[in-house]
């Protein structure tokens, strides 16, 4: 199964993700600052069946397959050489998508189709 909404390059949206982190009352302020510094750096480029994760100068290719989709989301299974198989549920919202990172959402914005 192919998901055309994913195709292209997506970048972590530091500003939108920071607003999500700031809204959480269950995260200590000191942890919020550290979390926000990590956001906005990851870039993901999706092709039909591969995702290329770029962080700084490091690029890691991962195979993935779409296992389910509906009007507002898609579930993929990624195969990372180091981490193994993982299910990722991607939620589309306007020009963004978000994924859960524990108890917060990290937002990504498409920068290239």
In a domain, 2, yes or no: no
Q: Give how many domains the chain has, as a whole number.
A: 1
Query: In this predicted model, what pLDDT tens digit does every residue of 4-34 receive, in sequence order?
Result: 999 999 999 999 999 999 999 999 998 999 9
Query: In this predicted model, what pLDDT tens digit does every residue of 26-78 receive, in sequence order?
Result: 999 989 999 999 999 999 999 999 999 999 999 999 999 999 999 999 999 99
Contacts 24+ apart (CB under 8 A), 102-105: 103/24, 103/26, 103/27, 104/17, 104/20, 104/21, 104/24, 104/27, 104/35, 105/17, 105/20
In a domain, 15, yes or no: yes
In a domain, 80, yes or no: yes
In a domain, 3, yes or no: no
Facing residues of 105 across strands? 100
User: What CATH number is associated with residue 65?
Assistant: 2.40.128
In a domain, 55, yes or no: yes
Residue 13 structural domain: 8-111
What pTM was computed for the model? 0.92
């Amino acid at each position: 199964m192919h998901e055309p909404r994913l195709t292209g390059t997506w970048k972590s949206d530091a500003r939108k993700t920071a607003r999500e982190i700031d809204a959480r009352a269950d995260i200590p302020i000191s942890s919020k600052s550290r979390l926000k510094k990590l956001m906005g750096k990851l870039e993901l480029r999706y092709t039909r069946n591969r995702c290329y994760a770029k962080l700084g100068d490091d690029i890691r290719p991962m195979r993935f397959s779409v296992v389910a989709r509906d009007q507002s989301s898609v579930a993929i299974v990624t195969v990372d050489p180091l981490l193994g198989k993982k299910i990722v549920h991607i939620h589309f919202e306007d020009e963004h998508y978000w994924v859960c990172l524990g108890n917060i959402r990290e937002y990504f914005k498409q920068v290239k189709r």
